[in-house]
Amino acid sequence: MSDTEAAQTTVVPWETVADAQGRRAWTAGQLRAAIAHLADDDPIVVHVATDEEGVADDQIIVDAGHGQIRWNNGDRMERDPLFALECAWHTADVLHVRPARISSS
């Protein structure tokens, strides 16, 4: 196969990408709408699912973009059609700071 005839990478139909509860993968438009009210310097944290039900690991987003894929068949690297958020575990003791509250007593 010549460079001009290189196979085009595609993704599975989005309506088939869901979790065990049937929740479909979000689109870029859904994410934009969800964060539209945030200030430009507001951080975003990802709650990564664990094997334990109802428990998630807090991770921070450290990068985003399209990766590269090699299909192990000798072809050159191809641009991944999926845009991904790159996450990492944070080094903070906790990510939540309890606000000071005035006692009503």
* Nearest-angstrom CA–CA distance, 34 and 28: 10
The pair of structure tokens assigned to 41 is 């310097």
Instruction: Extract the tokens encoding 24.
Output: 């479909």
Is 3 among the domain residues? no
Q: How many domains does the chain have?
A: 1
Q: Is 77 inside a domain boundary?
A: yes
Higher pLDDT, 73 or 13: 13
Dist CA 61 CA 70 (whole Å): 25
33-82 confidence digits (pLDDT tens)? 999 999 999 999 999 988 888 888 889 999 999 989 887 777 788 888 88
- 3-state class (DSSP) for residue 54: coil
Domain range for 70 is: 8-89
pTM score, whole prediction: 0.67
